[in-house]
């Protein structure tokens, strides 16, 4: 398990607790939950481009969206379903008959049927009783099974629901043929240890199941919680490229996939070397820039400037890099600046077979450090400000909104 070069070999002590299923079904949510991120919108063509690359990467299951949302969304789902991709295409539906029919009509073979489960959602959002939720869920699952679909049953906010109710609800949908059960940490409040307990208890109460998890990143724990779920036996982790998704996003595909391969030593069947290409495509089409320090796909994830680090990496990459950048389709970058040391200069000079004297090296280093300290931060600061004001709050502007209201002659009062 794992790569003994990556971690001190504590695996014998933790092997039992860390055993994860060897046949994982990565369930990509970029085109559904990812697209629900404020301001993100993929056209059917863009969805197809992303789906084609997800398929080339080897993602087994892609949620294409919710067909009942709009005619365009339904068209996108139909397109993906008929595009001949190697990935299975799934579409999502509330436990509402017209949602389920829209999925059936879209030509996909997989459906995710979802309804909320926690008291706060039932009371304030759905205004439904537990009995009503069970009835709606059972009817929808039964109808989807009749239509010949593979059915995943999802509850929103599973982990904040009463466990007795969760047990009753999931047992009821299993009884009518639900194929896969999804536990959702919709607002990202689980911690790894708590989630482990939760999932063990879920399996104890409901019985062995094809278990899937949907983890959000509100506390930055989505990837950790997803890995914990795999340790508990879940086989179908929900992931999004670049960790896109509502609010702080979902577990990121690249983090979960590379961790599974390199920290757990389990083959995913995915083309990890194409993850960066995928990440960049989604960054462009979503318009959501990747944080510089984002794991694996951030611009800095394989960059070094500090002298000690550069020296170490040049001597042996494992000193300061857990994996080779090429494994995820990237290249190492050595940045020259304030923190640069001599080793980086010697390496850089090799590009042109330049041989400098010690005195020249010292002077070159002094100039680079000085230049690094004086470098203008203006362009970066401008970009950040520009992004904040122009792009970070996308959607319809207030002015546009009130113009539409006026256009429809809706009476208003100025505050
Ligand atoms: Mn979600």
- Distance from the alpha carbon of residue 332 to the mean position of ligand 1, in angstroms: 34
- Distance from the alpha carbon of residue 20 to the mean position of ligand 1, in angstroms: 23
- Distance from the alpha carbon of residue 221 to the mean position of ligand 1, in angstroms: 14
- Distance from the alpha carbon of residue 219 to the mean position of ligand 1, in angstroms: 14
Mean pLDDT of the chain: 93
351 contact partners, CB below 8 Å, separation of at least 6: none
- Distance from the alpha carbon of residue 250 to the mean position of ligand 1, in angstroms: 7
Span 238-257, pLDDT tens digits: 999 999 999 999 999 999 99
Helix ranges restricted to H, 275-350: 275-286, 307-315, 342-350
Evaluated on CA atoms 85, 155, 249, 32, the torsion sign reads: positive
Does the pLDDT value for residue 21 go beyond 70? Answer: yes
pLDDT on residue 106: 97
pLDDT on residue 308: 85
Percentage of the chain surpassing pLDDT 70? Answer: 96
**Window from 32-41, 76-85, 131-140 with minimum mean pLDDT:** 32-41
Q: Which fold has domain 299-374?
A: H-NS DNA Binding Protein (4.10.430)
> If you write DSSP's letter for every residue of 352-369 in order, what string do you get?
TT----HHHHHHHHHHHH
CATH for 8-286, options being 3.40.50.2300, 3.40.50.1700, 3.20.20.70, 3.40.50.300? 3.20.20.70
- Distance from the alpha carbon of residue 246 to the mean position of ligand 1, in angstroms: 6
pLDDT on residue 11: 62
Stretch 71-91: mean pLDDT: 97
- Distance from the alpha carbon of residue 84 to the mean position of ligand 1, in angstroms: 27
What distance in Å separates the CA atoms of residue 349 and residue 360, rounded to the nearest whole number? 12
Where in the chain are the domains?
8-286, 299-374
- Distance from the alpha carbon of residue 220 to the mean position of ligand 1, in angstroms: 14
Does the pLDDT value for residue 322 go beyond 90? Answer: no
What distance in Å separates the CA atoms of residue 53 and residue 62, rounded to the nearest whole number? 11
Does the pLDDT value for residue 7 go beyond 70? Answer: no
Q: Which of 257, 211, 253 is nearest to 235 (CA)?
A: 211
- Distance from the alpha carbon of residue 238 to the mean position of ligand 1, in angstroms: 9
Span 28-52, pLDDT tens digits: 999 999 999 888 999 999 999 999 9
- Distance from the alpha carbon of residue 82 to the mean position of ligand 1, in angstroms: 26
For residues 183 and 318, the model is more confident at 183
- Distance from the alpha carbon of residue 317 to the mean position of ligand 1, in angstroms: 37
Does the pLDDT value for residue 105 go beyond 80? Answer: yes
pLDDT on residue 305: 85
**Window from 3-7, 209-213, 266-270 with minimum mean pLDDT:** 3-7
189 contact partners, CB below 8 Å, separation of at least 6: 159, 160, 218, 219
Domains 8-286 and 299-374 share a fold: no
Contact 181, 206 (CB under 8 A): yes
- Distance from the alpha carbon of residue 245 to the mean position of ligand 1, in angstroms: 7
- Distance from the alpha carbon of residue 159 to the mean position of ligand 1, in angstroms: 13
pLDDT on residue 314: 84
- Distance from the alpha carbon of residue 216 to the mean position of ligand 1, in angstroms: 7
- Distance from the alpha carbon of residue 247 to the mean position of ligand 1, in angstroms: 9
For residues 334 and 137, the model is more confident at 137
Span 184-206, pLDDT tens digits: 999 999 999 999 999 999 999 99
- Distance from the alpha carbon of residue 282 to the mean position of ligand 1, in angstroms: 18
- Distance from the alpha carbon of residue 261 to the mean position of ligand 1, in angstroms: 25
**C-alpha distance across the termini of the chain, in Å:** 64
What distance in Å separates the CA atoms of residue 342 and residue 179, rounded to the nearest whole number? 60
- Distance from the alpha carbon of residue 126 to the mean position of ligand 1, in angstroms: 17
**Window from 68-82, 173-187, 208-222, 325-339 with minimum mean pLDDT:** 325-339
Contact 64, 29 (CB under 8 A): no
What distance in Å separates the CA atoms of residue 33 and residue 51, rounded to the nearest whole number? 14
pLDDT band at 310 (very low <50, low <70, confident <90, very high): confident
To the nearest 10 degrees (0 to 180), the angle between helices 192-206 and 222-231 is: 40
Span 382-404, pLDDT tens digits: 988 988 887 777 778 889 999 99
195 contact partners, CB below 8 Å, separation of at least 6: 159, 185, 225, 228, 229, 232
């Amino acid at each position: 398990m794992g790569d003994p070069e990556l971690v001190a070999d504590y695996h014998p002590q933790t092997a039992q607790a860390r055993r994860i299923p060897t046949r994982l079904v990565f369930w990509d949510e970029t085109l559904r939950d990812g697209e629900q991120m404020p301001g993100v919108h993929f056209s059917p063509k863009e969805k197809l481009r992303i789906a084609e690359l997800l398929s080339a990467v080897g993602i087994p299951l892609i949620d294409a969206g919710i067909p009942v949302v709009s005619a365009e969304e339904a068209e996108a789902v139909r397109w993906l379903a008929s595009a001949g991709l190697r990935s299975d295409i799934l579409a999502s539906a509330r436990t509402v008959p017209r949602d389920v029919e829209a999925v059936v009509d879209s030509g996909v073979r997989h459906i995710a049927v979802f309804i909320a489960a926690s008291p706060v959602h039932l009371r304030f959002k759905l205004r439904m009783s537990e009995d009503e939720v069970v009835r709606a869920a059972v009817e929808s699952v039964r109808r989807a099974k009749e239509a010949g679909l593979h059915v995943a049953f999802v509850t929103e906010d599973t982990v904040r629901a009463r466990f007795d109710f969760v047990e009753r609800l999931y047992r009821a949908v299993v009884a009518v043929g639900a194929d896969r059960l999804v536990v959702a940490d919709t607002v990202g409040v689980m911690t790894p240890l708590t989630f482990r307990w939760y999932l063990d208890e879920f399996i104890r109460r409901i019985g062995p199941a094809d278990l899937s998890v949907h983890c959000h990143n509100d506390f930055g724990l989505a990837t950790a919680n997803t890995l914990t779920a795999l340790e508990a036996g879940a086989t179908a982790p929900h992931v999004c490229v670049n960790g896109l998704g509502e609010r702080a996003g979902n577990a990121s595909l690249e983090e979960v996939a590379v961790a599974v391969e390199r920290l757990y030593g389990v083959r995913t069947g995915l083309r990890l070397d194409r993850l960066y290409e995928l990440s960049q495509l989604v960054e462009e089409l979503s318009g959501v820039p990747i944080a510089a320090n984002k794991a694996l796909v951030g611009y800095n994830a394989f960059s070094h400037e500090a002298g000690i680090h550069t020296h170490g990496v040049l001597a042996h990459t494992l000193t300061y890099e857990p994996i080779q950048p090429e494994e995820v389709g990237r290249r190492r970058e050595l940045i020259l600046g304030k923190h640069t040391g001599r080793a980086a200069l010697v390496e850089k000079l090799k590009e042109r077979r330049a041989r400098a004297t010690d005195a020249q090296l010292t002077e070159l280093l002094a100039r680079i450090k000085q230049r690094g300290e004086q470098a203008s931060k203006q362009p970066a600061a401008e970009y950040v400000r520009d992004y904040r004001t122009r792009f970070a709050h996308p959607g319809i502007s207030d002015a546009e909104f009130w113009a539409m209201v006026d256009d429809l002659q809706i009476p208003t009062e100025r505050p």
